[in-house]
Chains A and B, each alone.
Chain A
Amino acid sequence: MQTAVAAEDKMFYALADPSRRAIFKSLMRGESAVKDLTARFDISQPAVSQHLALLKDAGLICGRKDGRSVYYRVEPKGMKPLIDWVAHYRAFWTEHVDRLEKLLEKMDE
C-alpha cells in the first residue's frame, strides 16, 4: 500500500505538467480512446500514452480495453489526496493562527 504522502506526491507531479492537465481535463468531459486524445491534442500517440500512464499511476484515471482500443476515464477517487491536502492545511493554519493570537496577547507592543 502506498502511503498518503507518496500518493499526494504522485498526484501533484502528474498534474504539474500542462499537457497532462489538458488531457485530464478533457477526460473529465467523458471517456476517450488514446487515438481520440491524440487527434484532439497536438502531441504524438507515444507521448499521449506516456501521459496517460502517469495519470493512471497517480490514480487519477483508469482504462478499459475494448477490442483493439483502450478507453480512459477519470477516476473521481483519485482526487482525494488533493482534497485531503487542502483540508489538512485549512485545519493546520486555523489551529496555528489561533496560537498566534494567544501569543500576541502575551507580547509587549
Chain B
Amino acid sequence: MSVADTTARSQVDTVSFEFDLRHSPKKVWRALTDPELLTEWLLPVFDLALESGHAFTFKAPPQPGWDGTVNCRMLEIEAPTKISYAWVVGDIDTVVTFTLAPTASGTRLSLVQSGFKEHQKQNWGGARYGWKLMGGRLVVLLARIP
C-alpha cells in the first residue's frame, strides 16, 4: 500500500488521504459496507443500512467526556464508487467520504473527513473560502506558541 497525505497545508478543517490498494474496487467496497468487515477494520457498527438518510452508529471505546458513540447518517451511496456519511461526535458534525477508483493494480481509495457538514458549507458560501485563507494565517500564529 502506498499512502499520500493529501491534506492541503492551509486547510485546517479537513483531513484527506489517498491510498493505493492492491485489491479490486468490488472487494474494497465490501470492506467499506459490510457491517462485520467494517467492525473488523474500523469500529463496531450498529444499524447500518445502505440507503441515503439512514441513521447508524459506530461504537469506539469510551473516553473521559465521551461515551464512544459516533452518530452517523448516510448522505450518499453509489456502489462501488462512493460512500459518504455524517460523522458526529458530540456537537462536532463532520462528513466522512470514501471514493473508490479502479487502477491498473487495484483501487485508489480516497478518504476525506471534512470538519463541517455539507449543508453548512452551502449556507456559509463565501465564509468557507475565508476559513481556508485563515488556515494559512494560522500556521504563522501557531509558530508563536511556546
Which residues on A are within 8 Å of B, measured CB to CB? 3-6, 8-9, 12-13, 15-16, 18, 21-22, 24-25, 28, 74, 76-77, 79-80, 82-83, 85-86, 89-90, 93-94, 96-104, 107, 109
Contacts and interface: CB of A to CB of B under 8 A. Distances in A.
Interface string B14-27: 11010101011011
B138 A79 contact: yes
Given A21-B127, A79-B142, A97-B17, A104 B28 contact: yes
A9 B17 contact: no
A16 B21 CA distance: 36
Contact of A107 (B13, B37, B138): B37
Interface of A is mostly: helix
A-B pairs, 5 with minimum CB distance? A3-B65, A18-B127, A5-B65, A99-B41, A100-B41
A74 B23 contact: no
B41 A86 contact: no
B27 A28 contact: no
Interface in B1-45: 1, 3, 5, 7, 12-15, 17, 19, 21, 23-24, 26-28, 30-31, 37, 40-42
